[in-house]
A and B are shown apart, each in its own frame.
Chain A
């Protein structure tokens, strides 16, 4: 299993905790999928309330690693403030860093992202940046001190899957030793399997599970797809070719009809 900042993860499936019909269904989804990391949006739920939020207590009861995120932050300052709040609330220096640049597509603001990543890494945070497949942006995030990258598959909540296969292959190949998580945009287990087949270390999703008719069943579907996809990657798949290659020799076959 890959390590994020020295911590070995227990599953390659990571789940968000928003938008489920109820906390009980959320807990079922985690149980059934075996997901090892839960992301939690701090900004939106924070309110004036600090400790003692009953929902956060439910998340802690899932007994999985908590990766707080700065979802919904549109500026460096907001993201940094939220990260500090998250560190205090969840007693972790892990932070999934989102700096949103566009209201409609929710795509990351690359400039703000790098700036916030630098500030937080310097401050001792272990930053998981939500980024695009852009190589230069990836490189700058690594220089800022990030040791994990989380490129998007497609815009958050869109369920479009892996939008730019070429770009994702390219970033995977460019930084072979950096743990990378496909974050956002997945709608179906087949898309998660495809990401794993490409050599990504894990996938993170939320809406695809939370908004499914049966979230726990969908979570398990994703868990199996992630395992299958990774098995395929580890097994070194055959190269595709554009002509048939019969697995049984034809010439000399005894009863050729």
Chain B
């Protein structure tokens, strides 16, 4: 192992793979056009919820299982992981959604109005029941990206803007890899960042609604992230009035004090996804693709990075590998 492996892409997947390989003593370099984590990667816009059980409502089984590796992995990288669980609520007339959500997920307990007030005083009296997922966690995505980036720099990993001509490559380009991964598609998402000093939340809260499902993730210092729309389109720009209205309306319904919040940012990007919305590892010649995190970048990239490292270091075939034409 003399020449470093080139990792293309400095988003969540590229940084996680680079971190995992570096930790195992495999020399890597990162090919990324930008000189710092930023909006060029869709992980910049993510929520940072580490909520494998909640995701199980609509995601396939591997998301729930592999996602459970995430919180510990992030903590090992020095990222602040807030292990306050998450909360799922529904407004009065959508309460049946809560029953459905509870049927389709594990790892939760039912809270009544008093129990809600105990853990989230600002939501006390606003909801008569909720589901608490105590084993879930959240992180601040931009801080996490910076932590990984800085950690790699500190370990003398080379960052370059020059794409490699030859050699072993791990392609972590996200949606840009559509040129080679024909079944990869974009799923547009819009998000809003707010500041409110009137509402305090200690954990991500999901508001179930048949038309506008919403989550609010507290970032600390009165900052909240609202997400996220999910639209079948590869468009990476143009947050619409409709989507923004939906997000803001749902936030207002969660707590009317959000009506006075300051809008700090409106973000939009497209998530890379395969047809079953599960991530994939594919090896073609000297190139390994790691892609298709869909809405689960922070949740699944650690497990995907582990599987890639297992493949490279120990020749263990990754669970999520669906194609292998390798002469690595």
Binding site for B on A (CB under 8 A): 21-25, 27, 44-49, 52-55, 58, 157, 207, 211, 213
Q: How far is the CA of A24 from the CA of B273 in the complex (A)?
A: 11
Which of chain B's residues has its CB closest to A53's CB?
B233
Q: Would A47 and B276 be within 8 Å (CB), given that A55-B232, A55-B233 are in contact?
A: no
Among B178, B238, B240, B276, contact of A25 (Cβ-Cβ < 8 Å): B276
Give chain B residues whose Cβ lies under 8 Å from the Cβ of A49. 233-235
In the complex, the answer to whether A53 meets B234 with C-beta atoms within 8 Å is yes
Within 8 A of A (CB), among B206-257: 210-211, 231-235, 237-238, 240
Interchain pairs with CB closer than 8 A, number: 57
In the complex, the answer to whether A48 meets B235 with C-beta atoms within 8 Å is yes
Give chain B residues whose Cβ lies under 8 Å from the Cβ of A45. 231-233
B195 contacts the other chain (CB 8 A):
no
B2 contacts the other chain (CB 8 A):
no
Give chain B residues whose Cβ lies under 8 Å from the Cβ of A24. 275-277
24 pairs from A and B in contact (CB 8 Å cutoff) = A21-B59, A22-B60, A22-B276, A24-B275, A24-B277, A45-B231, A45-B233, A46-B233, A47-B188, A47-B231, A47-B235, A47-B238, A49-B234, A49-B235, A52-B234, A53-B232, A53-B234, A54-B232, A54-B234, A55-B185, A58-B185, A157-B210, A207-B210, A213-B103
Q: How far is the CA of A24 from the CA of B294 in the complex (A)?
A: 14
Please indicate which of the listed interface residues B59, B233, B240, B278 has the most CB atoms of chain A within 10 Å of its own CB.
B233
Within 8 A of A (CB), among B184-211: 184-186, 188, 210-211
Please indicate which of the listed interface residues A22, A27, A45, A48 has the most CB atoms of chain B within 10 Å of its own CB.
A22
Minimum CB–CB distance from B276 to chain A (whole Å) comes to: 4
Q: How far is the CA of A27 from the CA of B273 in the complex (A)?
A: 15
Give chain B residues whose Cβ lies under 8 Å from the Cβ of A54. 178, 184-186, 232, 234
Minimum CB–CB distance from A42 to chain B (whole Å) comes to: 11
Q: A22-B276, A47-B233, A213-B103 are in contact. List 18 more A-B contacts (CB 8 A).
A: A22-B275, A22-B278, A23-B185, A23-B276, A23-B277, A24-B275, A27-B275, A45-B232, A47-B231, A47-B238, A47-B240, A48-B235, A49-B233, A52-B234, A54-B185, A54-B232, A58-B275, A213-B104
Which of chain A's residues has its CB closest to B268's CB?
A47
Minimum CB–CB distance from B296 to chain A (whole Å) comes to: 12
Which 5 A-B residue pairings sit nearest by Cβ, starting from the closest? A54-B185, A55-B232, A24-B276, A47-B235, A22-B277
Binding site for A on B (CB under 8 A): 58-60, 100, 103-104, 178, 184-186, 188, 210-211, 231-235, 237-238, 240, 273, 275-278
Give chain B residues whose Cβ lies under 8 Å from the Cβ of A21. 58-60, 277
Q: How far is the CA of A48 from the CA of B231 in the complex (A)?
A: 12
Q: How far is the CA of A207 from the CA of B277 in the complex (A)?
A: 19
Q: How far is the CA of A12 from the CA of B244 in the complex (A)?
A: 38
Q: How far is the CA of A58 from the CA of B234 in the complex (A)?
A: 13
Q: How far is the CA of A46 from the CA of B186 in the complex (A)?
A: 13
Give chain A residues whose Cβ lies under 8 Å from the Cβ of B235. 47-49
Minimum CB–CB distance from A25 to chain B (whole Å) comes to: 7
Q: How far is the CA of A49 from the CA of B273 in the complex (A)?
A: 17
Minimum CB–CB distance from A65 to chain B (whole Å) comes to: 19
Q: How far is the CA of A53 from the CA of B238 in the complex (A)?
A: 16
Give chain A residues whose Cβ lies under 8 Å from the Cβ of B100. 211
Give chain A residues whose Cβ lies under 8 Å from the Cβ of B240. 47
Among B178, B231, B237, B275, contact of A23 (Cβ-Cβ < 8 Å): B275
Minimum CB–CB distance from B166 to chain A (whole Å) comes to: 30
Minimum CB–CB distance from B278 to chain A (whole Å) comes to: 8
Minimum CB–CB distance from B230 to chain A (whole Å) comes to: 10
Which of chain B's residues has its CB closest to A54's CB?
B185
Give chain A residues whose Cβ lies under 8 Å from the Cβ of B188. 47
Which of chain A's residues has its CB closest to B238's CB?
A48
Minimum CB–CB distance from A228 to chain B (whole Å) comes to: 27
Minimum CB–CB distance from A57 to chain B (whole Å) comes to: 8
Give chain B residues whose Cβ lies under 8 Å from the Cβ of A25. 276
